[in-house]
């Protein structure tokens, strides 16, 4: 029997303009799995995280990830997974991706890294497909690779790790509003106005340029979403007022995290991010909506082995 303990970080997808193609990894927050392989052919998943998850392993994102890894590498084994730590599902900071990335990375470690980092992402995307009905990599790629990641294209998968200039901090609020990823996707139009699409790709170019050139002001100006936000912000009470407050206190940008309902603010100073966290807290408290706030550094580290 061989065993590993793996961690994969929480992540935030879309980053405003980068709908479906960009995401970043967060420090500290994430999932921890103990994984082992032994002779045989089967999979067991035990949940020791304290976070309620379905008992049926067919409903756990780890299952298709493990199967994809075994299929790609032509291996067969009894795989045992113990979930030690879990981000709450639906928190909008890549809960399913953290599990998927940890499982894919862990399998690759157990077998001596036969897969490239990109192939590990491909395995992790199987979990995303189970969770949301689509092969997205905008959370899975940063959860595997760390940092800020661009998915240049899906056919074939082309993942670019972008530089993280200096220190970035995210304040994230997870309000207890029930919005499934599927629902958040289904309200989006199938077609978008050309004018808005052009605005969006101008901003994507600007965001990438800002990250490479270390132009923080440009990063902030570019992190705007002309496509999904107009539809999705309706799920989040007081969204526009909240952003006005957040930006007035120095954050670079505020956007919906992934498909929501979580919202994040990006700042280049820790104290500004904490201020944003306080504003998030006040906002949802005043509305009587339960919520959690995280203030976390953007991390260049993705999935990794950790000590038992």
Q: Which residues of the chain form contacts with a copy of itself (CB under 8 A)?
A: 17-22, 150-154, 158, 160, 162, 188-194, 197-209, 212-213, 218, 221-222, 227
Of 119, 126, 128, 229, catalytic? 128
Residue 296: Cβ-neighbour burial (10 angstroms; 0-12, 13-18, 19+):
buried
Among candidate residues 166, 169, 138, the one with its CA nearest the CA of residue 152: 138
Q: How far apart are CA 203 and CA 199, in angstroms?
A: 6
Contact 20, 136 (CB under 8 A): yes
Nearer to a copy of itself, 174 or 243 (CB): 243
Smallest separation, CB 278 to a copy of itself (Å): 31
Q: How far apart are CA 20 and CA 89, in angstroms?
A: 19
Nearer to a copy of itself, 51 or 188 (CB): 188
Instruction: Give the side-chain half-sphere CA count within 13 A for 200.
Output: 21
Known active-site residue 181 = yes
Smallest separation, CB 22 to a copy of itself (Å): 7
Show the tokens assigned to 118: 């990109």
Nearer to a copy of itself, 19 or 168 (CB): 19
Smallest separation, CB 219 to a copy of itself (Å): 11
Helix (H, G, I), strand (E, B) or coil at 290: coil
Smallest separation, CB 263 to a copy of itself (Å): 22
Nearer to a copy of itself, 137 or 276 (CB): 137
Q: How far apart are CA 300 and CA 59, in angstroms?
A: 30
Active site residues: 128, 181
């Amino acid at each position: 029997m061989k065993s590993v303990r793996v961690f994969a970080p929480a992540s935030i997808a879309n980053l405003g303009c980068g709908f479906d193609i960009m995401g970043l990894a967060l420090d500290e927050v994430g999932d921890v799995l103990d994984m082992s392989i032994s002779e045989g052919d089967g999979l067991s998943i035990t949940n020791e995280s304290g976070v309620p998850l379905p008992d049926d392993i067919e409903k756990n994102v780890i299952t298709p990830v493990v199967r994809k890894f075994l299929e790609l590498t032509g291996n067969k084994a009894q795989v045992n997974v113990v979930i030690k730590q879990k981000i709450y599902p639906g928190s909008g900071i890549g809960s399913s991706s953290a599990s998927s990335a940890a499982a894919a990375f862990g399998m690759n470690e157990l077998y001596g890294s036969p897969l490239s980092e990109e192939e590990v992402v491909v395995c992790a995307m199987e979990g995303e497909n189970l969770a949301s009905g689509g092969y997205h990599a905008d959370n899975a790629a940063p959860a595997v690779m760390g940092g800020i990641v661009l998915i240049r294209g899906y056919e074939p998968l082309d993942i670019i790790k972008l530089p993280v200039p200096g220190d970035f901090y995210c304040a994230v609020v997870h309000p207890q509003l029930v919005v499934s990823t599927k629902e958040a996707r289904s309200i989006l139009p199938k077609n978008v106005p050309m004018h808005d699409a052009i605005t969006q790709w101008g901003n994507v170019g600007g965001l990438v340029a800002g990250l490479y050139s270390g132009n923080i002001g440009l990063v902030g100006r570019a992190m705007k979403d002309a496509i999904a936000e107009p539809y999705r912000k309706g799920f989040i009470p007081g969204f526009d007022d909240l952003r006005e407050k957040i930006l007035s206190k120095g954050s670079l940008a505020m956007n919906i995290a992934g498909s929501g309902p979580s919202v994040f603010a990006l700042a280049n100073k820790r104290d500004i991010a904490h201020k944003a966290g306080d504003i998030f807290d006040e906002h949802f408290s005043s509305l009587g909506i339960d919520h959690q706030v995280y203030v976390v550094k953007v991390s260049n580290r993705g999935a990794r082995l950790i000590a038992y």
